[in-house]
Amino acid sequence: MAKYKLLDGKRIKLTAKEEKLLESEAKEFKKQSDAQKKAEDKIKKIKDSAKTKLKELGLSDDELKIVVGE
């Protein structure tokens, strides 16, 4: 499927080189986005684990909110 760009208000078909570059950039963006999501998920998992451990040690919900900041 042909891809287009706007240049001075005119719709112009991308060259094969431009399409390849666009696809490459999209793949790189997805790769970085997936890596960021994975890192955020890992942090959430660690934080949830820490909350559970603190709760098991006897901290109340209010104390957890103060310690964790949520």
Give residue 47's pLDDT: 92
Question: pTM of the prediction?
Answer: 0.67
C-alpha 20, offset from chain centre: 24
Position 1 pLDDT exceeds 90? no
d(CA 9, CA 17): 22
For the stretch 29-59, pLDDT in tens is 999 999 999 999 999 999 999 999 999 999 9
Give residue 17's pLDDT: 96
Q: Alpha carbon of 43 to those of 17, 48, 49, 70: distances in Å?
A: 39, 9, 10, 14
Collapsing DSSP to helix, strand or coil, 58 comes out as coil
